[in-house]
Structure 1
C-alpha cells in the first residue's frame, strides 16, 4: 500500500483537473489532523495497524490521488451527492431513503458496513478506510452537494483576484490557501470545541451532514453567478467562518465514525 500511495502521489502532481477534488490537499489534511486529535487510543491503534506510518491527515488525500490510476477510476462518482435544489431536512431524508445511485451517501454506508466485517482482507480494509476518510471530509465541502447541471459549480466560471477560476475551486482550495497557513497551523487555529458540541455533531446522521452542506450551497449560488468578478477579500470576509466550521465539523464527525468502528 505504501508503494501504491507514493506512485499515486507522484501521478497526482501532474493531474490537471484538480477542480474535481474536494477541499484540495490542504483541506483534507486539516480535517484529518483535527479528527486524529479526537480519536480514542483503541481507534488510533487499529488505524495504525491498517495505514502503518501514513498519518490520518495525509490519508484523506489518497482517494483524490488515485483518480489518476485506471484501477480506481470507478470511484470518481463516489465523491459527491447531486442535489439540484435546496432541501428541507425532511425532504432530504426522504430523498436519501430512496437513493440507490452510486454517490457519496450510498458509498459511505457501504464502506462503514465493509469495515465492520471481521473477515475483510488487509488490502480491502486499507482501500475502504482511505475512501471512508475522504468521503466524510468531502461531503462537508458544500459544493459536493451542488447541482449536477453545472458539475458541482465547476461550470460556474468566475474570477478570483482577477484570475479565471470556478466556484467549485474557490471552495476546494482558494479560500483555504488564502489564509497562508500550513495544515497543522490551520488545524490548531480552528480546533476549539467543547465536549457537548462534539457530542451534538457526532450524533447527527449523515443525512444531517448533507442537509447542512446543501443549505450552505444555496447561499453560495445566490451570492455568485457565472461570469462574476469576485473580490477575494470580500468573499473571504463573508464565507471563511463557514469554511472553518465545515472543516471542524468534518474532523469531529470523522473521529466519531472511526471511534465507533474501531473502539
Structure 2
C-alpha cells in the first residue's frame, strides 16, 4: 500500500525538494492506538464529541490517503509532513533553527492544529479535520527521518536493500522495519505500552522543540550507521528494532499528552 501511494505521488509530480513520506499504515495506527490508551477520562469524553465512537487509529492514515486526491484541495498540506533542519550541536541551537524555518512545516502545523482543536469556537467539521491531521503529524514527528536532511529528502534518495528488496532509507523506517516484526497495530501497541507512570511522565516531559530535537538526534544516528548501496537484513533489525519501537512509543505517548492538554 505504501509503495502504491509513493508511485502515485511520483506520477502526479507532487515530489518537491525535501518532500518525505510518512510512517506506513501500521506505524501510524500504532502511534494512534498507544495515544488512545493513554487518554484521560476528560479527553476521551471531549474526543467523542468530535469523532464519536470511532478510534483514533481509523483516521491515522487519512492525511496520506488524501495525497491521491486530484482536485488540489489538499495540495497545501504536502509540506506539513516534514521539516528540514540542519544538525545542531545542542538543543538550544536546534530550537532556534527549528523556529526560524520559513513557511508551514511539520513543526508549525502541529502547533497550529493543536490551537484549532483547542478553540471551542472552531466549527465542528474543522476540528475533526484538524484532529485527523494532528494524529498523523505527531506520528510523523517521531519518525526520525521526517526531521532529516533536505539534500537526500529525508533518506528517500539513499538506496539500499533490505532482505534482498530494493528500497530506500526513508521507506525502511516508514514501514519495512515495522512490518518485519509481524505484529498487527493493536498487538504492537500492547507490547510497547508497558511503561510505568514515572516512565511515561519522563517521555512526555519537555517541549515540542525538545521532541523534535530528540528525533533529529536519532536521525543522525541512523545516517551514521547506514551505508548507501548496502544490503541489510537481520543485522539492521538487530541494531535498530528497539530504536524504532522507542520512537513509536514516544510518538503515541506524546500524542496522548497533546490531546489530554487540548481536550
The normalised TM-score by structure 2 is: 0.90
Q: CA deviation at 1:180?
A: 0.6
Give the corresponding residue for 1:180. 182
Give the corresponding residue for 1:256. 257
1:176 aligned counterpart, secondary structure:
helix
Q: Which of 67, 87, 112 does residue 85 from structure 1 map onto?
A: 87
CA distance in 2, matches of 1:12, 1:218: 24
CA distance in 2, matches of 1:141, 1:12: 15
Give the corresponding residue for 2:140. 138
Unpaired runs of 5+ in structure 2? 10-19
Give the corresponding residue for 1:214. 216
Give the corresponding residue for 2:16. none
Q: Contact conserved, 1:18 with 1:24, CA < 8 A, in 2?
A: no
CA distance in 2, matches of 1:223, 1:17: 27
Give the corresponding residue for 1:103. 105
CA distance in 2, matches of 1:72, 1:104: 15
The reply on whether 1:21 has 2:11 as its aligned counterpart is no
Q: Over aligned residue pairs, what C-alpha RMSD do you find?
A: 1.9
Q: Contact conserved, 2:27 with 2:174, CA < 8 A, in 1?
A: yes
- Equivalence map 1:146-185=2 (5 Å): 146-185=148-187
Q: Contact conserved, 2:2 with 2:24, CA < 8 A, in 1?
A: no
Give the corresponding residue for 1:6. none
CA distance in 2, matches of 1:24, 1:106: 22
CA distance in 1, matches of 2:2, 2:231: 29
Give the corresponding residue for 1:247. 248
Q: Contact conserved, 2:85 with 2:98, CA < 8 A, in 1?
A: no
1:111/1:42 CA distance change after superposition, 3 Å: same
CA distance in 2, matches of 1:172, 1:138: 9
The normalised TM-score by structure 1 is: 0.90
Q: CA deviation at 1:90?
A: 1.3
1:220 aligned counterpart, secondary structure:
helix
2:65 aligned counterpart, secondary structure:
helix
Give the corresponding residue for 2:30. 30
2:75 aligned counterpart, secondary structure:
helix
1:31/1:18 CA distance change after superposition, 3 Å: farther
1:216/1:12 CA distance change after superposition, 3 Å: closer
Give the corresponding residue for 1:198. 200
Give the corresponding residue for 2:45. 45
Q: CA deviation at 1:50?
A: 1.2
Unpaired runs of 5+ in structure 1? 1-10
1:18/1:91 CA distance change after superposition, 3 Å: farther
Q: CA deviation at 1:22?
A: 1.9
